[in-house]
Structure 1
C-alpha cells in the first residue's frame, strides 16, 4: 500500500518563491537624482537638498478579492514585493570617484569654451565642437582633445554605474538620463542640441 507524504506548506512556499522571477525595473527617479549630484559636482555648483525619490504607489487591493485570496498567495506576495520595490541606484565605486574627479578637473578647462559657444552638449549627452571659429588657433588642438577625453569618461561613467549596480542592461537608460540632466543643469548661455539635432542656447 502506497502512502502519500505531503510536504509542509512552508516548504512548498519556499520552493514556489524560488521559481518566481523578480523584475527589477530601472529606478528612473533615483537615477535622475544621482545624475544631478554627479553633474553639479562636475559643474562646481552647490548641491540642492533633495527629498528621497518616490516611486509610484502600488494600486490598492480590491477588498472583494482580499477575502477570497488563499493564504499562500498573500505570503508569497509579501516575500516578493519588498524585493521588487527595493530598486535603487548606487553611484559609489573607486572607478566612479576617479572619473568624477577627472571630469571635474577637466570642466575648468572646458568652461571658457562652453561660454564662447565653441562647445555644446549634443542630444545624446556627449560634447560637440559647435563653432571652431570661436576658438583661437593655438587652442584648437587642445579643445578637440578635451572634448574627446570628456566623451570617453562620460561613456565609461555610465558603463561603470550600470556595472556597480549589477545591471549592465541599464547602461542605455543611464546614458539617456544623464543626457537630459547635463542640459537641465547647464547654466544659461550654454548651447545644446534638441532632439532634432538643432543647436539652441539656454
Structure 2
C-alpha cells in the first residue's frame, strides 16, 4: 500500500512539473518589424497596380560570405547557429526573403493590394478599427454594407496568413524547432508586432486598439 501511494505521489509530481514547463522562443522584434515594413513597400501596392514577381522572393540582395580559412563542419556548427540568430536580430532581410517566398503570403499581399482604397475609406469613416492583433474590427455596423463586411473578412484572412507565415519564418531563420508550443508563442508575438507596424503607418483619426485593450484614435 505504501509503495502504491509513493508511486501515485511521484506520478502526480511529474504531471505537475510537466504542466508548468514553459517554452521560451527567441523573437527578433526589430527584424520582424523591418521585414513587415519591407514587404509592405515591395508587395503592398496601391489599388490597380500589378504586383511584380508575385510568389517570388523580394528583391533583397543576398549576403555573400567572404572566403577564409576553412574548419571542419562540426567545429563550425555552433558558430553558424549563432550567426544566423544574430543576423536575424540585426535586420529583417532574411525574414523578408523567407516570408515573401511563401506562395500563400505573396497571394495574400496581391489580394490586399487590390482593396487598399476601399479599406482606407472604412478606416476614415470610423466604421472599422485596427485590433491589437493586427486585424480589422467592425466598430460601426451602421456604416457597413454587406460588401464592406465581406471585404473585412477577406482582409483578415489575408492578414492571418501573413502573420502565420511570419511565425514559421522566424523559427526557420533563427534555427528553432517548429513545435506547436513554439509556433503558438511566436504567432502571438508576430501578431502584436504586425499590429504595432500598422499603428505606426495609420492615418490620423483612425481607430486602433492598444495592447491593454483600450481603443483610441490616432
Tell me if both proteins adopt one fold, taking TM over 0.5 as the criterion.
yes
Q: Are 1:152 and 2:150 counterparts?
A: no
For the Cα contact (< 8 Å) 2:129–2:138, is it kept in 1? yes
For the Cα contact (< 8 Å) 1:96–1:160, is it kept in 2? yes
For the Cα contact (< 8 Å) 1:191–1:201, is it kept in 2? yes
Cα distance in 2 for partners of 1:28, 1:85 equals 17
Unpaired runs of at least 5, structure 1: 1-22, 45-74
- Note the alpha carbon deviations across 1:76-120, whole angstroms, 9 max, x for none: 5x6413422313322222222111111111222211111111111
In terms of Rg, which structure is larger?
1
Task: Tell me which moved more, 171-180 or 116-125.
Answer: 171-180
Q: Are 1:37 and 2:47 counterparts?
A: no
Cα distance in 2 for partners of 1:91, 1:35 equals 9
- Note the alpha carbon deviations across 1:109-160, whole angstroms, 9 max, x for none: 2111111111110122111111223x2xxx5111111111111111111222
- Note the alpha carbon deviations across 1:23-75, whole angstroms, 9 max, x for none: 9833222111011223455375xxxxxxxxxxxxxxxxxxxxxxxxxxxxxx9
Cα distance in 2 for partners of 1:107, 1:158 equals 18
**Structure 1 residues 173, 129: closer, same or farther in 2, change over 3 A?**
same
Cα distance in 1 for partners of 2:122, 2:45 equals 14
- What residue number does 1:27 align with? 28
- What residue number does 1:100 align with? 109
**Structure 1 residues 34, 183: closer, same or farther in 2, change over 3 A?**
same
Q: What is the TM-score with the length of structure 1 in the denominator?
A: 0.62
**Structure 1 residues 140, 109: closer, same or farther in 2, change over 3 A?**
same
- What residue number does 2:191 align with? 175
What count of residue pairs does the alignment treat as equivalent?
145
Cα distance in 2 for partners of 1:196, 1:28 equals 19
**Structure 1 residues 183, 143: closer, same or farther in 2, change over 3 A?**
same
- Tell me the SS of whatever aligns to 2:34: helix
Q: What is the TM-score with the length of structure 2 in the denominator?
A: 0.58
For the Cα contact (< 8 Å) 1:118–1:130, is it kept in 2? yes
Unpaired runs of at least 5, structure 2: 1-23, 47-73, 89-94
- What residue number does 2:83 align with? 85
Residue number among 186, 195, 201 corresponding to 1:185 in the alignment: 201
Q: Are 1:126 and 2:124 counterparts?
A: no
